[in-house]
Amino acid sequence: MRKEVIGNAELYLGDCLELMPEAIPAMSAAACVTDPPYGINTKSDGSGKLSPWGDICNSAFWYAEWFRVAKSRLRQDGCLWTCLNWRSLATFQKASCDVRWPIESLMIWDKKWIGPGGQKGLRPSYEMVALFAGDDFSIDNRGLPDVQAFKWSSIKPNGHPAEKPVALMDFLIRNSTKPGEVVFDPFMGSGTTGEAAMGLDRRFVGFEQDPQWFDVACRRIEQSQRQVKMFG
């Protein structure tokens, strides 16, 4: 296990299931905002090689395990936002039933981009974000519609193939937490959630088990901290 403290961020290299209970006190965080691996078959390094995590990350049992741990770190008025697509929706629903934590809302993320698609199906232009709510959770703006548009680009500024727009994570954090509160991401990747959290003056705890992406996230969040100090 490796730990880096960068301003208001604590970053951990290792397995989130093992580290979350140690790094985050029970019932202390305001939100979990994450983009877990879903529907994956290949490694995230662009090599095209089969990923050893493919079978695990496509199983409801594995999702239920990290749902349980993440939920135990959240306050009663906290929430969990997690990205997914239509292929993984049934797996998420099975996991949510297993932990008795139903999906509160499904947000359609209009990517403002149309994927290549296959010969038999329609071309994909959206993904989803599921909201799991604590018993006392209330979203800040109750007038928000469940379709939101954030531009997706095939050009990944930090190199991670599954990198999401900062604006998407900013939207989720902004509408469910307040400055100074704790936001965590069990699957930090290249640090998009952390960058958004820093820009909104939240405390951030991130976990990543791939050393390559952990180092990218550290550099990215350190740069974000400098920008906040410079222009904040």
pLDDT digits (tens, 9 = 90+) for 21-56: 999 999 999 999 999 987 655 444 455 554 544 455
Distance separating alpha carbons of residues 53 and 38, to the nearest angstrom: 10
Looking at residue 227, what is its pLDDT? Answer: 78
Confidence band of 59 (pLDDT split at 50, 70, 90): confident
Nearest residue to 80 (alpha-carbon basis) of 184, 217, 221, 196: 184
Looking at residue 152, what is its pLDDT? Answer: 84
Q: For residues 184 and 30, is the Cβ–Cβ distance under 8 A?
A: no
The amino acid present at 70, given as its one-letter code, is A
Task: Count Cβ atoms below 10 Å from residue 184 Cβ, excluding itself.
Answer: 31
Distance separating alpha carbons of residues 40 and 27, to the nearest angstrom: 31
β-strand partners of 206:
11, 185
Question: What stretch of H or E contains 79?
Answer: strand 74-84
Q: For residue range 167-218, list pLDDT tens digits in order.
A: 999 999 999 999 999 999 999 999 999 999 999 999 999 999 999 999 999 9
198 Ramachandran zone, left/alpha/beta (phi>0; psi -120 to 50): alpha
Residue 58 has pLDDT above 80, yes or no: no
Looking at residue 42, what is its pLDDT? Answer: 43
Strands 74-84 and 29-34: parallel
Looking at residue 231, what is its pLDDT? Answer: 67
Q: What token pair was written down for 17?
A: 């299931």
pTM of the model: 0.89
Q: Where are the domains of the chain?
A: 2-231
Question: What stretch of H or E contains 230?
Answer: helix 211-231
DSSP state at residue 42: B
Nearest residue to 195 (alpha-carbon basis) of 160, 170, 215: 170
Q: What token pair was written down for 154?
A: 């095939």
Q: What value does the mean pLDDT take over residues 80-104?
A: 94
Q: For residues 73 and 17, is the Cβ–Cβ distance under 8 A?
A: no
More confident residue, 181 or 154: 181
Question: In the sheet where 203-208 sits, what is the strand order?
Answer: 2-6, 9-13, 203-208, 182-185, 29-34, 74-84, 126-133, 105-110, 147-149
Look up the CATH number of domain 2-231. 3.40.50.150
The proportion of the chain whose per-residue pLDDT surpasses 90, expressed as a percent, equals: 72
Q: What value does the mean pLDDT take over residues 57-77?
A: 91
Q: For residues 204 and 195, is the Cβ–Cβ distance under 8 A?
A: no
